[in-house]
Amino acid sequence: MNAYWRFLIKKALITILTIFVTLTANFFIFRIMPGDPAKLLLNDPRLKKENIELVKKQLGLDKPLWQQYLIYMKESFKGNFGISFVHNVPVSQIIAQRLPQTLLLLSVAIAISTVVGIAVGAICGWKRGSKLDATLLTASLISYMVPTFWIGIVLLMVFSLWLGWFPVGGITTIGGGAGIPRWLDVLKHMFLPTVALVLWYAGEYVILMRGSMLDVMKEDYILTAKAKGLRSLTILKDHAVRNALLPVVTLIALNIGWMVGGCIEVEVVFSWPGMGKLIYDAVLKRDYPVLQGCFVIITITVILANLIADLIYGYIDPRIRRGTM
């Protein structure tokens, strides 16, 4: 068995163990949250204790904790996340309805921010110390440090409330979009949340790409390329950027993994009916099955995305799979 296969098997076993541990943590975290879901569902202080106990029995909350845990693990691996306490429908059905909205918003935002972030970061690293570098880096730091909900609120105030160019929230206009095609109506609604996400993600990519470029620019092969008289654009494109992309690959993979969970702050601010908004509402209403189902999906996608990034790293750079780096 060669080194890469040993590396692959080791990473796969670690991934399985990580999923098991995170699923266990996922179960217990929601059980120690304050509040009683049965009382919240009934929402009537006049009800007697036996009524509350009956609801707990129907929800399976009357069973011992270890028994709840075994049922949870068994059903999670089957893809059955139970029935929502609030909506009284299967959690998998709710997730299936919300997931496409999140994937639409986040995929566009991540694609745009990746291209912009890598390009701007490469320019900053290439033009280190220049006014252009200082300006772009400052803008990137600000966009990355400012919370996405604050960016979203500012965008809403300026472009929705003051100028009236874009809708305040939602994914489509209630009752139709005044005769415009549905796809165009969706595009108008997703424009501002996409901008908010692009500003945040792009700032992150610029900072990482710039730092990686600075490290690459010190390598001997860059000096050799310059000594050969190669054009600056050729050195930048064929030598510097390709090698500087490695750290960014991991971040992109993790962001794609987190994409399933959406961006809670942006989805709440813009009332975007995706996974982030679903998680926010489930927290407020103590809807354990929905929360657990969402976190299981997010956990698995993030861990698998990280595994894929590690395997790509190990394939590209033999030092990583040999553990010499």
DSSP string, 47-84: S-HHHHHHHHHHHTTTS-HHHHHHHHHHHHHHT---B-
> pLDDT tens, 62-116?
677 777 788 777 777 777 777 787 777 888 888 888 888 888 888 888 889 888 8
Spatial contact of 156 and 244, defined as CB atoms under 8 Å apart: no
Q: What is the pLDDT of residue 277?
A: 87
Locate all alpha helices (DSSP H) within 217-269, ordered by sequence. Answer: 220-227, 232-235, 241-259, 264-269
Nearest Cα neighbor of 257 from 100, 110, 145, 118 is 110
Q: Decide if pLDDT at 7 tops 80.
A: no
DSSP 264-301: HHHHHHTT--SHHHHHHHHHHTT-HHHHHHHHHHHHHH
Q: Decide if pLDDT at 181 tops 50.
A: yes
Mean of the pLDDT values across residues 48-58?
62
Q: What is the pLDDT of residue 324?
A: 45
Q: Decide if pLDDT at 36 tops 50.
A: yes
What are the distances in angstroms from CA 215 to CA 208, 261, 299, 321?
11, 33, 32, 22
Query: What are the structure tokens assigned to 68, written together?
Result: 């709840």
> pLDDT tens, 236-275?
666 666 677 777 777 777 777 667 666 788 888 888 888 8
pLDDT band at residue 176 under the 50/70/90 scheme: low
What whole-number distance in Å separates Cα of residue 181 and Cα of residue 116?
Answer: 29
Q: Which domains does the chain have, with CATH numbers?
A: 95-322 (1.10.3720.10)
Q: What is the pLDDT of residue 283?
A: 83
Q: What is the pLDDT of residue 27?
A: 75
Global pTM value: 0.71
Nearest Cα neighbor of 219 from 240, 241, 236 is 240
